[in-house]
Structure 1
């Protein structure tokens, strides 16, 4: 498969505000600011090799996101510092039914859930973001699809509950699929983008991704330069033009 992971995209009512929140919390920087989007980038030392992209949408957030970020911490004191910083920047604590757990569940200023994890050995070298976590009814099946279209191999399994992918470089966040039987009801406000390399054929890449198990999304617009598809569980994602 010729495509690779290039973006994590977050819908936002106020992209500039949300980008500033995440840049300040992660210690990253706003790299590109234009009418259609705001991009936040990590320093090279962090290991995150994607753009964090905020795009304007008119629709309000309705349900818990099916994709969220887990933030890494090195010590319990560091975890507490991250939580305090998030609250100071405009985040808030939320209850998604987590009960008594060692991680802290928060929401950003537009209600997007994220977790600040307690120290865990698996995430010791990920940089600021430990994991991009995706709810999945069938984690093995969904992980196999995303492994194929990103080139990230399976590197972790926890019974039949969680499957984790990691970039071949061994740097940056995990891409993890966690069992969750909730039914997807609305368009995801957080999605992934993949793209073929510069010089490759876009149409051929789209055909490859569809052959791997994707399907055209109902909101796909043939007038756009990219294609909007859905993965085997209906999560929207984009196949961008070669880059």
Structure 2
């Protein structure tokens, strides 16, 4: 595609576990300043409802609906867990031009976070999980390299994540048919850079950022420049 064609396309941002679309507040302006149309989605598996049972397939359905509603081509940028339902959602989407994995789970069909952890989550009796129970210090884990005020605000917005979303396996792997990019966060303490490195081997091309897990918060301008330059290749 030409730069003009890319500027007319949509970048759909898919957040990770425990988050919602508000996490992109510093990143969206950087993309729009570069002439990109941006859309976001709130995944049903992440909410304040302690009895929520929405799973990964529910998240994939919402992503698919947003992609189908878009005018023109769509670049899907998926962060962390969000890449799992994105991978499920866009395998047969004719208008998705690229799937970008941002410090993310780039899994194959049959895999889930639960299968990678040896069944850790499928044995849980709880419908939902708090990031503050899952990690010793989510603020540091997710936003350790962000400005303190930004990290504090982002941590205050974290919600509950359903256990089910970590257990449902992919039925397909979009990256086998959709052009894909992987962005490795070299200082990530939530998803080990070594794991990201292994996942990135599945992508058509990969890049590295000297950032923590949430580069959209700590390095929004650098990330926007990388993604738009990649789209213009």
TM-score when normalising by structure 2? 0.30
Higher relative contact order, chain-length normalized (CA < 8 Å, sep 6+): 2
Which structure has greater strand proportion?
1
Which structure has greater helix proportion?
2
Larger radius of gyration: 1
